Amino acid sequence: MPKETTCSRIRLFHLRKPLSALAIAATLFATQLPALAISASAPVMTGYTVSTNHSSDLVQHSTDPTTGQITPVTDDQYIDIDVTFSKPIQAAADAASDLAVTLAGGTTGSYINPAAPDDSNQDITDSFSNHITATANGNTLHIVFHYGFAQYNGQLTVKPAATDGSITKITGTDGTPVQWTNISCIAPNGVQLSTVSQTPADPTADAPASVTKKVITPTSATRAMVFYVFLKNGQPVGTFSPMMGSFVAHYHLYLTMDAPTYTSEFPSSFNAKYGSQYTMTTNGDTFTITSNKNADGTVADTTGDVLDVLVYAYPRDRNTNSDKTALNAAIAKADALTAANYTAASYAPVEKQLSIASAMNNSIYYLQSEVDAQTAALYTATDNLVTIAQQQAVDDFIATVSALPATITLQDATLVSSLAATYAGFTNAQKTLVPSATLQALQTAQSQIQALENPSASSAVSSSSSSTSSNASSLVVSNPNTGEGTTAFVPAAVFTGVTLMLLVAGSKKRRS
């Protein structure tokens, strides 16, 4: 087998439970294979993962007829398929002969002689003793399928080679043949998208829906026509093909193409199909899709409309069956809120994340990790809400600190200590609203009081960050905006009272 390059494996869908005998029989019937006798001791197929990679051991070159420049076009590409079973398995040396593996309808690859850097297409398939290999390791069957062409539709199938659907060379440890479920999927070529930003539509703010995605092209990505699904509120926009998604962007020069170059190919395909309603632009390795406005300049979207683009390949080429129980709970919590009770600034993130979560909840294409991440994002937004009363408390705190005299006296000690206690009692959301300058002013006031209370202790503190005073204690004021901690010195005469206030408040909070 050719030496493998570094590969970031894509973790894909696994069946939650082993298939029952009834489910296997139904699957065999649905695929028009004869139902075989099912043994209770047979290892049952429970799921699979698929990833692609390539090796430079064999390279096809293209020669420019004008310049004579030689460019690598295709090398040895292969698909790794890991099939899991309910029990440990074993595989005979020729186990691959039990299986028929096809990609885009083809069962063999075309490999080019590296000694002839031209387009002669000399076939050296026989350089591989096994074009398809299948080996067992514990509960997993590892299949490697070599090919030397572009995935022009990417349809990967793995099924028994025998017409009667029998498997004889892949068995349990007791020799019982495994129970196979046919694999049929669009093989991912390795190109990925990550979300940079999503902006739900807000006609009142003259903001159309938009989404910005970053294109990721790992070195393990292979030659393919890569298909994408374009979504609005979780559903495909316009015409959609179960085989080819919404639109395509060709990734043929995979050996030399970088992400920005590949990204530049997206608009021609997308805008040709969707340009009357949406516009795609690019910037380096990112692209942005924005809803077009009406002829009169108004936003065409409805409030909360959400756009997204996903790579259309396994496991997104079907219902991912992600568990959305927690997402629905987060949506219900956000839906129950009354916007008028909160500040506009803190409620806006809730509206945004609620729109995105609702679109995701309305879609079959999102992975469990994405559903979980969006659930967390919505909960974070609701946790950071600030009520009108809480905002007023912050405003009062800032105003009171700002009104402190430039020169602090011991008569100000009680007020300063009270301000420190007030800040300590704020929620994290409230603390993010307090400017760093306000916290610095409070620290300065506390330092002045400490110096008046015990000048020698103040001198010690100024010379060593670890020094303490017998007559003074300290509170650490943390600013969530920066994560920085500020040591607030409080005279011993009032620290005990402040500490009791905080302990009582914490005790009440725990009881509630």
178 shares its domain with 207 = no
- Say if 318 falls within a structural domain: no
340 shares its domain with 360 = yes
229 shares its domain with 284 = yes
**pLDDT at residue number 284:** 98
Three-state SS letters, 161-176: CCCCCCCCCEEECCCC
Which residue, of 135, 167, 186, is where some domain finishes? 186
363 shares its domain with 276 = no
CB-based contact 431:450 (threshold 8 Å): no
196 shares its domain with 182 = no
C-alpha to C-alpha distance for 422 and 429, rounded to whole angstroms: 14
224 shares its domain with 367 = no
The SS3 call for residue 486 is: strand
Provide the domain limits for residue 101.
21-186
- Say if 296 falls within a structural domain: yes
In the chain, the number of structural domains is: 4
Q: What is the DSSP string of 198-210?
A: EE--BGGGTB--E
Please tell me the pTM assigned to this model.
0.77
The residue type at 329: A
Instruction: Give the closest residue to 151 by CA, choosing from 116, 113, 185.
Output: 185
**pLDDT at residue number 323:** 99
124 shares its domain with 244 = no
- Say if 2 falls within a structural domain: no
- Burial label for 57, CB within 10 Å (0-12, 13-18, 19+), is middle
Which residue, of 285, 311, 337, is where some domain finishes? 311
166 shares its domain with 60 = yes
Q: Which two tokens stand for residue 228?
A: 């994408």
**pLDDT at residue number 149:** 76
CB-based contact 453:472 (threshold 8 Å): yes
**pLDDT at residue number 230:** 99
62 shares its domain with 168 = yes
**Mean pLDDT of residues grouped by 10 in the chain (512 residues)?**
36 37 36 48 96 76 72 78 98 94 69 43 41 92 86 88 95 96 95 98 98 97 94 98 94 91 97 98 98 97 98 96 99 98 98 99 98 99 98 98 95 96 97 97 95 72 43 48 49 40 40 42
- Say if 256 falls within a structural domain: yes
Instruction: Give the closest residue to 120 by CA, choosing from 109, 130, 110.
Output: 110
377 shares its domain with 404 = no
